Structure 1
Amino acid sequence: MSDHTPYIADPPRRVPSSEELRARIPGWGSDLDPADRPSVPKLSREADAATGAHWDVPSQQPGAAGRERSIEHAHVTPVFGTAQPLRGVPGAVRRLAYARFSEGRLAHWMLLVVADRLDVATHRVTDALRGRPDRVISETGVAAERGNHPVASRLGSGRSDWRHQVLDPMVANWGWLAALGAVVLAARRVRRSRRSR
């Protein structure tokens, strides 16, 4: 049986000695002798020097009790950001992503993406209610392309992203399209209720 048996159920755990490795691999162990290592003086100075830290473990930032954290970690990091506190439905979706799913699961990241999209939709609605709606046309970049051959630059140019350009307006403006659909449905209901009277 050779030393290279990674595919058997219980491979032998024989670790070769330094002499065997040095004989088999040219240059193996060349940095074992500190006299041959140019970094040894620097490393020894760094080992002797104090780091200047006044703690063994950094003190925990206040407010860690309700913070979201990955289920892989035992506790929240000593310092964390508080600029964007979780609130509303997007915050509940983010808390669910952190409480239920590992960071290695697709569901964790998809829930975070859904929460971001909900956050964007919420802000668009609240901005519109405050009298500062999004500038839908100018934010899509359509106005910037006027006069710069917008169709010719996409068709027949060999661009690899032309397939998804049809979907880009839908992805960027799905909130507005959903709101428009809701207004149309509400108007139809009102019209039907008036006709039935």
Structure 2
Amino acid sequence: MPYIADDHRKQFSPDELRARIPGWGADADPSDRPSVPREKLDLPTGAHWTFPDRQEPSAGRERSIEHGMLPPVFGTSAPLHGVSGAIRRYAYDHYSEGRAAHWLLLMLGDRVDAVGSHVRSLASAHPDNPITETGIFGERRHRPISSRFGQRRADVKHAWMDPIIVAGPWVLAGIAVVSVVKRVARRR
């Protein structure tokens, strides 16, 4: 039967649907459903409320514009902060979750946060080690070449970018540090 645009407004009886669609209503009869002996909807839940007590929202809590309110309970383990937090707040305040701009801004906020973490790491007494954190030494012991070819792995297509993405920020940071040191040395 061909689809007709206005056909969706018609109401069909269950018998008509069973005749038109093979298998329609297979689980409509509770006696035919395998989960019915275990499925009990009248058990006490133990809840003393119909709507749970609301958690007090902290200042600046992000909420999508699609939702009228925050859920009753929400996570607060990583509150928004700094420039990355401002970018994320802008994404939540101005764009729907169905828009690419919302997600692109959230990813930009993540990248800004990652750069900030790298800068804080370089300023600390124990900076990150980009070589060991990539897992390159583990690769050496687990067939790094043969595991990539002939296996139809999706990551092989972008593997050439991995060194640029991983080492690129560190190389740029090193160049920046060397240029700052040279300028300071010239002034003295």
TM class by shorter chain equals: 0.7 to 0.9
Equivalent residue in structure 2 for 1:87, among 70, 74, 81: 81
Q: Which residue of 2 aligns with 1:178?
A: 172
Unaligned runs of 5+ in 2: none
Q: Which residue of 2 aligns with 1:46?
A: 41
Once the two structures are superposed, what CA deviation does each residue of 1:78-113 show, in whole Å capped at 9, x if it has no partner? 111111111111111111111111111122112112
Identity of aligned residues (%): 48
Q: Which residue of 2 aligns with 1:5?
A: 4
Q: Quick one: structure 1 residues 41 and 169, their matched pair in 2 at CA, closer, same or farther if it must change by over 3 Å?
A: closer
The Cα of 1:77 is off from its aligned counterpart by 0.9
Q: Distance in 2 between matches of 1:35 and 1:149?
A: 55
- Give, as a single letter, the amino acid of the residue that structure 2 aligns with 1:126: R
- Give, as a single letter, the amino acid of the residue that structure 2 aligns with 1:46: L
Indicate the SS of the match to 1:73.
coil
Q: Are 1:89 and 1:118, in contact at CA under 8 Å, matched by a contact in 2?
A: yes
Q: Are 1:22 and 1:29, in contact at CA under 8 Å, matched by a contact in 2?
A: yes
The Cα of 1:177 is off from its aligned counterpart by 2.4
Q: Quick one: structure 1 residues 36 and 67, their matched pair in 2 at CA, closer, same or farther if it must change by over 3 Å?
A: same
Equivalent residue in structure 2 for 1:109, among 93, 103, 124: 103
Indicate the SS of the match to 1:182.
helix
Q: Please say if 1:76 is aligned against 2:70.
A: yes
Q: Which residue of 2 aligns with 1:138?
A: 132
Q: Are 1:58 and 1:78, in contact at CA under 8 Å, matched by a contact in 2?
A: yes
Q: Which residue of 1 aligns with 2:12?
A: 16
Structure with the greater alpha carbon radius of gyration: 1
For normalisation by structure 1, the TM-score amounts to 0.72
Q: Which residue of 2 aligns with 1:123?
A: 117
Q: Quick one: structure 1 residues 174 and 77, their matched pair in 2 at CA, closer, same or farther if it must change by over 3 Å?
A: farther
Equivalent residue in structure 2 for 1:57, among 44, 51, 55: 51
For normalisation by structure 2, the TM-score amounts to 0.75
Please list every run of at least 4 consecutive aligned residues from structure 1 whose deviation after the TM superposition is greater than 6 angstroms: 30-42, 191-194
Unaligned runs of 5+ in 1: none
Q: How many residues align?
A: 186
Q: Distance in 1 between matches of 2:173 and 2:27?
A: 68
